Chains A and B, each alone.
Chain A
Amino acid sequence: MLCLPGIAEMDERRILFEGIDIPDIDRAPTYADHGGFEGLRRAQSMSPLALTDAVAATGLRGRGGAWRLVADRWRQAQAHGETDYLIVDLLESDPGRFRDRKLAERQPHRLLEGARIAARAVGAATVYTCIDSAAVRARQSLLQAIEETRDESVAIHVHPVAGPFPLAAGDSLVVELIESGRAEPRAQDHAYGEAPQLPRLFDKQAVVHTASTLGYLPSLLATAGEVFQSASSSWAPGTQAFCVSGLVRRPGLYEVELGDGTVRDLVEGLAGGARTERAIKFVLHAGYGSFPALLEQDLDRPLDPGLWADPAAGEVSGSFGGGSVLVADDSVCAVHTAQRIARSFADSSCGKCLPCREGTNWLAAALGRLEQGEAEASDLDWIIERCATLTPDLSLCGHGSSAAAGIGALCGAFADEFANHLDGGCSVIKDLSMKVPDSIHVRY
């Protein structure tokens, strides 16, 4: 009945969104009839350490974009003493990403079951679900599901917060949002080579997970890891639900097996490729902070984060991202896209750290001048230099460096187009038949 727009049958493999089309799957009895709560029952029969070992054996990694091992995080929490809070990150601040809120909206019980399993593993008695207040339906759905499955062992709160939120800001962002209401990440102070420390909420230890990560836990526990066993990727077994948006025929949410197929299969196969008489110009595979910008000839990269994250493992490198794939065809001007990206980063910067607050704002202004044909040659030099020097270590969280990486990737891939804008503006013939011809950004 309720089918997501554009979900095609070919090559999809659903674990996270398994059963999403079943009517009333958001109600507890229906969810239980279709195998729900089995994972939680099994988890409750295991000790936290055995549960952690079981999840470690499946190789589950976080789906937020950092791709860290879930079991490592739990062991870190167990090693550092008592954990009071589990926080579900439902902010989905990356433009073009709508996967987690769709999960909360249609499969709230799967999400809550996963949260209860994780809470059991780390010993947390309180779960905060930190959700963008704009995701009204997802919030209502979650509240109803919490009401249906209320139990004494774990208290689950839904905590709506108002955006915009910095991207790639790390775990401390949700903690700070719950504590102070301001979307300001905290500075990391871990030593070189160490894993980031667990954030502290109300001075107690907290474990933060992206909602989709938790959504895998019920299936993994219920099948004792079987759903991941046929995995094509040994580094990151399982599936990833990609939100494909922009100028493709069938934008939508596609869950595919990692390691099975390429970016081309996703963009041109499932999402239908470019519109008639149009060609794909570039794909931003990790949302606005993507680097590199994938050109038509780069689309044969494998959909396996292990091959992206570690240059030693393969020839490709870059940001694999958290599932937001933006596609632009040849009616899109790269400078205009860069300007929009910069403006978006400037608008969602929290303003705490200097390079991000001033840098993104200046980049947006300078790219705006460039797009209008009013920039000077030095402006372009400054843009390229600032994008190169705003490294992840320089900005306080990943927001500023993501902006620099994303804009820098476009500057690098379309150097001629950027330079042409210095003498007389844009040469791209924009397609006016689209309602939003200059947009590659489809908000959920």
Chain B
Amino acid sequence: MTTVTIQVDGEALEAEEGSNLLMVLLDAGHVVPHPCFHPDLSAPASCRMCLALEQGLGGKRLITTCNRIVVPGQRLRLQDPQVESARGGLVDDVLLRHPPQCSVCERTGECELQEVISEQGDDTTRATLAHSGERVELGPRLVLDRQRCILCTRCVRFEAEISGSHGLTVSGSGADAVIDTCAGTSEQQHPLRHELSGNLLDLCPAGALVEPGEQFRPPAWQMTGVSSVCPGCASGCATRTDMAAGKVQRVKPRGDGEDTQGYWLCDTGRYGWQAEIKRLQAPELLGQVVQWDVVLAEVAERMEQARNAAVLLSPYQSNEEIFLLANLALRWKADLFFWEAQDPDGDLSFPSGFTISGQRGPNHAGLAAVTAALQLPLGDEAHLAALLRDKKLDALYAVGGSQHGEGPQLRTSAGLFLAVQDLTQPGWAADASVVMPCGSCWTEKDGTFIDRHQRLQRVRAAIQPPAEARADFWILAALWHGGPNRDSPDQAFSRLARSSAEGPFAGVDYGILEHQSSPARSVAYGGGWSSHLQRRGLIAVEDHAKRQ
């Protein structure tokens, strides 16, 4: 690719030859509405709004920029009366049958169409046609409101090109055209039952595809987005946890960096935090609820006294937690073991290349990397099971952390001191001596993960663990320092980076990671409403945990 210069509104703009013209304009900060275009989908050029006036040797003409490429010497005008009047006509057209009641729409504040209308419209409409169209249930969590649909066909193209399920199509022609399902809708058999269906909510530029009950959620401008990484599997998709009223409202793909799987997130990643499980509420010692200091003192004492101690690391722990726990294992002279959450069906791949990893543990690679950096041997679960079977251990510190039932399959026997740190009471550890309720890695963990592509990314907590449960880092730091302390994942990571001469942590600090995963890049849904608000600072996407 060679870099060439094109002229936009008389100003020179450097761009790669052959790259998508609309993306070049958006990246340069120009406001170009594009309700039908999406960076990851093919461009049908059907909404016609991404207009520019191309000046050639033979004269001027309007072009759609979404289906054009950059060629050297191109001369474009975006601020031009001809462009504005043509676009004004299109805004009028789109409003002919789209209901204008933005204030009662669940997408208000983050709707691309709303942004287009507010920026390009002229407050007049020739709308005289009656609105028509019904609400159709497309999937368990997806409703299509045909009254709002502007037939951009992003959803149809997503189904064909990304999920590969071909679940949606356009039926009818002309003004009677509607988005329809290929299978037909019925309550028993939802046509959209694949793992990527939630992305259709983010795709829709007009609020036509919504979740049932979404109208009861706070509006976009009341939400604070906390950027994080999905802990659903080892793929490491970048997410944004949207908060309002002190609660997690939803999880969305962040779609702002190269380190993500495009703009998508699977339904496990999107809805996984909602899993209804019976969380542990308070630390327990021999079945009795006690204070944290009692539990921690007991664990420290018993682990240090044990002659044959072992520590079981979890792929749901962050690198910083693994670092602390490995150091504790050194102090306790305990052997290190790990368990893994491997899906027997292996990876699940989609035509677009989007992959849900068969390795469910989000930090499986980090687990190996931290122990390698500390040059500590690591035994697997089978090895630990053999030691337990032969009763060669007298103390075990085991960490779980999965919200969806994954965990080690071990059998313990009497006489073993078993300390368990988990979200729920694990089945295998019913007779644990000590149970410590920890934080969920979906919304309550602060630190870093390494995904299966060896990318080191920042995970951020959005809320505190419930009741007496404590974040994993807090528990381990309290054990390490023997009491209350001011240690943070930031400092633990610095120590980890200092102790490794090479590998993923060498020469890295949180400052670099913050910069890498800093969200609100302009390409997230083009210059859509939400990213505009982010740029203006109205939706702050910041390190929520740090502020706390």
- Where the two chains meet, the residues of A that have a C-beta atom closer than 8 Å to any C-beta of B are 164, 182-183, 186-187, 189, 191-193, 346-355, 357-362, 365-366, 369, 378-379, 382, 385-386, 389-391, 393-396
Q: A393 and B62: CB pair below 8 A?
A: yes
User: CB within 8 A of B47: which of A354, A360, A362?
Assistant: A354
Bound form: Cα–Cα A233–B229 in Å: 71
B154 sits at the interface (CB 8 A): no
Contact with A along B480-512 (1 / 0, CB 8 A): 000000000000000000000000000000000
Alpha-carbon distance between A365 and B127 when the two chains are bound, in angstroms: 11
Cα distance, A393 to B53, chains bound together (Å)? 10
9 closest A-B pairs by CB: A351-B177, A187-B45, A192-B56, A361-B175, A393-B62, A349-B174, A358-B93, A189-B67, A382-B126
B86 is an interface residue with CB less than 8 A from chain A = yes
Chain A to chain B contacts (Cβ below 8 Å), 28 pairs: A183-B173, A186-B44, A187-B43, A191-B71, A192-B63, A193-B57, A346-B175, A347-B174, A350-B174, A350-B177, A351-B151, A351-B172, A353-B45, A354-B90, A354-B93, A354-B94, A358-B93, A358-B94, A358-B175, A362-B93, A366-B128, A369-B128, A378-B126, A385-B89, A393-B62, A394-B86, A394-B89, A396-B45
Complex alpha-carbon distance, A187 and B48, angstroms: 10
Smallest Cβ-Cβ distance to A375: which chain B residue? B128
Give every chain A residue within 8 A of B67 (Cβ-Cβ).
187, 189
Name the A residues within 8 Å of B126 (CB-CB): 362, 366, 378-379, 382, 386
> Dominant SS at the B interface?
loop
Most buried by B among A351, A359, A369: A351
Q: Which B-chain residue is minimally distant from A186 (CB atoms)?
A: B44
Contacting B173 at CB < 8 Å: which of A189, A349, A353?
A: A349
- A359 B93 Cβ-Cβ under 8 A: yes
A352 CB to nearest B CB, Å: 5
Interface-central residue, A191, A357, A396, by most chain B CB under 10 Å? A357
Do B174 and A351 touch across chains, with their CB atoms under 8 A apart? yes
Q: A395 contacts B48, CB within 8 Å?
A: yes
Residues of A within 8 A of B183 (CB): none
Is B48 touching A355 in the complex (CB atoms < 8 A)? yes
Cα distance, A187 to B56, chains bound together (Å):
20
Chain B minimum-CB-distance residue to A191? B71
Contacts of A386 in B (CB 8 A): 89, 126
Query: 1/0 per position for B56-78, CB-CB distance to A under 8 A?
Result: 11100111100111010000000
Q: How far is the CB of B122 from chain A (nearest CB, A)?
A: 12
Assembly CA distance A115 to B177 (angstroms): 35
Q: A183 to B172, alpha carbons, bound, how many Å?
A: 10
Within 8 Å CB of A187, what residues of B?
Answer: 43-46, 64, 67
Q: Which residues of A contact B44 (CB under 8 A)?
A: 186-187, 352
Give complex CA distance A191, B64 in Å: 11
Chain A residue at minimum C-beta to C-beta distance from B96: A358
Residues of A within 8 A of B47 (CB): 353-354
> Once the chains are docked, how many angstroms separate the CA of A192 from the CA of B55?
8
**Contact across chains for A351 and B173 when beta carbons are under 8 A apart:** yes
Q: Is the CB of A358 within 8 A of B97?
A: yes
Report whether B48 and A192 are in contact in the complex, using a CB–CB cutoff of 8 Å: no
Judge whether B61 and A346 touch: CB under 8 Å: no
B1 at the A interface (CB under 8 A): no
B56 and A357 contacting across the interface, CB-CB below 8 Å: no
Residues of A within 8 A of B97 (CB): 358
Task: Give complex CA distance A183, B150 in Å.
Answer: 19
Q: How far is the CB of A189 from chain B (nearest CB, A)?
A: 4
Task: Write the chain A residue with the least CB distance to B175.
Answer: A361
Asked if A351 contacts B93 (CB within 8 A), the reply is: no
Contacts of A362 in B (CB 8 A): 93, 96, 126, 128-129
CB neighbours (8 Å) of A382 from chain B are 126
Given A187-B46, A353-B47, A391:B93 Cβ within 8 A: no
Asked if B134 is at the interface of the complex by the 8 Å CB criterion, the answer is no
B335 at interface, CB cutoff 8 A = no
Query: Which residues on B sit within 8 Å (CB–CB) of A357?
Result: 151, 174-175, 177
Tell me how far the C-beta of A126 lies from the nearest C-beta in chain B, rounded to whole angstroms: 26
Mark each residue of chain B from 100 to 111: 1 if its CB lies under 8 Å from any CB of chain A, else 0: 000000000000
16 extra A-B contacts, CB within 8 A, seeds A350-B173, A351-B174: A183-B173, A189-B69, A346-B174, A351-B172, A353-B45, A354-B47, A355-B48, A355-B93, A357-B177, A358-B94, A359-B89, A360-B175, A362-B93, A362-B128, A385-B89, A389-B85
- Nearest Cβ on chain A to B338's Cβ, whole angstroms: 48
- When C-beta atoms are compared, the residue in chain B nearest to A352 turns out to be B46
CB-based nearest A residue for B45: A187
By a CB distance below 8 angstroms, the chain A residues around B151 are 351-352, 354, 357
CB of B382 within 8 A of chain A? no
Q: Tell me which residues across on chain A come within 8 A of B175, comparing CB atoms.
A: 346, 349, 351, 357-358, 360-361
Q: Return chain A residues, CB-CB under 8 Å to B173.
A: 164, 183, 348-351
Q: How far is the CB of A346 from chain B (nearest CB, A)?
A: 6
Provide the bound-state CA to CA distance between A385 and B51, in Å: 19
Residue B54 CB within 8 A of the other chain:
yes
With beta carbons under 8 angstroms apart, the residue of B54, B57, B62, B174 that contacts A361 is B174
Question: Would you call B150 and A354 a contact (CB within 8 A)?
Answer: yes
Interface contact B85-A353, CB-CB below 8 Å: no
A361 to B71: give the CA distance in the assembly, Å.
37
Contact B174 A353 (CB under 8 A): no
B170 interfacial contact with A, CB 8 Å: yes
Residue of B96, B128, B129, B175 ringed by the most chain A CB atoms within 10 A: B175
- Whether the Cβ atoms of A354 and B174 lie closer than 8 Å is no
A193 to B61, CA, bound (A): 10
Closest to A361 in B: B175
Residue B345 lies at the interface, judged by CB distance under 8 Å to chain A: no
Q: How far apart are A378's CB and chain B's nearest CB, in angstroms?
A: 8
Q: Are A351 and B176 in contact (CB under 8 A)?
A: yes
Task: Assess the B174–A390 pair: CB atoms within 8 A.
Answer: no
In the bound complex, residues from chain A placing their C-beta under 8 Å from that of B172 are: 351
Chain A neighbourhood of B86, CB < 8 A: 389, 391, 394
Residues on A with beta carbons closer than 8 Å to the beta carbon of B54: 192
Pick the residue among A193, A361, A391 that contacts B58 (CB under 8 A): A193
Chain A residues lying within 8 Å of B56, measured Cβ to Cβ, are 191-193
A189 (CB) vs chain B CBs: closest residue: B67
Taken together as a complex, chains A and B put the C-alpha atoms of A359 and B47 apart, in Å, by 12
**Within the assembled complex, what's the spacing in Å between the Cα atoms of A389 and B88?**
10
Give the complex CA separation of A192 and B54 in angstroms: 8
Q: How far apart are the CA atoms of A189 and B69 in the complex, in Å?
A: 9
The chain B residue with its CB closest to the CB of A383 is B126
Query: What residues on A are CB-neighbors of B93 within 8 Å?
Result: 354-355, 358-359, 362
**A354/B129 contact (C-beta < 8 A), A192-B56, A390-B89, A394-B62 known:** no
Instruction: State which residues 84-142 of B face A: CB under 8 Å.
Output: 85-86, 89-90, 93-94, 96-97, 126, 128-129
CA gap between A393 and B67 in the complex, in Å? 13
Minimal Cβ-Cβ distance residue in B for A369: B128
A362 to B54, CA, bound (A): 29
Given the known interface contacts A351-B172, A358-B94, A361-B129, the answer about A393 and B177 at a Cβ–Cβ threshold of 8 Å is no
Residues of the A chain whose Cβ atoms lie less than 8 Å from the Cβ of B170: 182, 351-352
The smallest C-beta distance from A59 to any residue of chain B, in angstroms, reads 23
CA separation between A366 and B89, bound complex, in Å? 16
Complex interface: chain A residues within 8 A of B51 (CB): 394
> Cα distance A366–B175 when bound, in Å?
15
Give Cα A357 to B172, complex, Å.
12
Q: Is there contact, CB below 8 Å, between B174 and A365?
A: no
* Residues B174 and A192 in contact, CB atoms below 8 Å apart: no
**Which residue of B is nearest A180, CB measured?**
B169
- When the two chains form their complex, are residues B48 and A189 in contact, meaning their CB atoms are under 8 A apart? no
Report the Cα distance A359→B96, complex, angstroms. 9
Cα(A193)–Cα(B59), bound, Å: 9
Q: Which residues of B contact A192 (CB under 8 A)?
A: 54, 56-58, 61, 63
